Amino acid sequence: MALEAKAKAAATAAEEDEGVGIVDPKSDPQYLQFRCLPPGGDRLNRWSHIITREHDFPASQAMLYGAGVPSEEMMKNAPHVGIATICTHLLEFGKIVKRGVEKQKMLAWQYNAVGVSDAITMGGEGMRYSLQSRDLIADSIETVTMAQHHDANISIPGCDKNMPGVIMAAARHNRPFIMITSSEDKFTQRGSYGRTD
């Protein structure tokens, strides 16, 4: 048993030397394990470095360049931040968040997750889909974050039923995470007292 542990430790050390990374020590072993850089240090691209370092994943890197990565330096060093908007009416707000992330010299990848708007479905048969949409939201955010090796996630839910789905995703991917709650419609964005500022 001790010999096995020593061999595993030696293999892990060799992989770290090559820049491959380690299995995140905070990850739950019952879930799929992803390699990353060890915690600490000044590198924010703990997970994305797996596909952006050297030439191990040339097709991935070519696709990232095609999707808008501006330089090799950004490819190799900038953290990849996924920005998930829930409900299509939040896409423009997501673009504002994306620009803010890019101003911080990070790579921002915006996508939309399926979400049901209670305000639209209220009182009708469509409400039957509201609660179960939480799992769709959690699944889609987790899938994009993990599969595309994002280093962090910013989620923008638009309805109180969307928020648990976003939190469920954060618990699953276990990466740096921010949730920005937003108003459902123009009326609530302006406030119920007629303010327009």
Please give the DSSP secondary-structure letter assigned to residue 188: H
Beta strands 107-113; 35-36: pairing state: unpaired
Give the pLDDT confidence score for residue 185 in this predicted structure: 53
Cβ neighbours of residue 27 closer than 8 Å, sequence gap 6 or more: 33, 34, 174
CATH superfamily for 2-190 is Response regulator (3.40.50.2300)
Distance from C-alpha of 138 to C-alpha of 94, rounded to nearest angstrom? 18
Distance from C-alpha of 40 to C-alpha of 59, rounded to nearest angstrom? 29
**pTM of structure:** 0.81
Q: What are residue 22's DSSP bridge partners?
A: 36
Give the pLDDT confidence score for residue 119 in this predicted structure: 79
Give the pLDDT confidence score for residue 142 in this predicted structure: 96
Give the pLDDT confidence score for residue 192 in this predicted structure: 46
Question: What amino acid occupies position 113?
Answer: A
Give the pLDDT confidence score for residue 160 in this predicted structure: 78
Give the pLDDT confidence score for residue 187 in this predicted structure: 46
Please list the pLDDT of the chain residue by residue as tens digits (197 residues).
Answer: 565 554 455 445 444 444 567 887 777 788 778 888 888 878 899 999 999 988 889 999 999 999 999 999 999 999 999 999 998 788 999 999 999 999 999 999 999 998 888 778 888 898 888 888 999 999 999 999 999 999 999 999 988 788 999 999 999 999 999 999 876 555 445 544 454 55
Give the pLDDT confidence score for residue 40 in this predicted structure: 80
Distance from C-alpha of 30 to C-alpha of 115, rounded to nearest angstrom? 28
Sign of the Cα pseudo-torsion (187, 188, 191, 195, in order): negative
Give the pLDDT confidence score for residue 25 in this predicted structure: 77
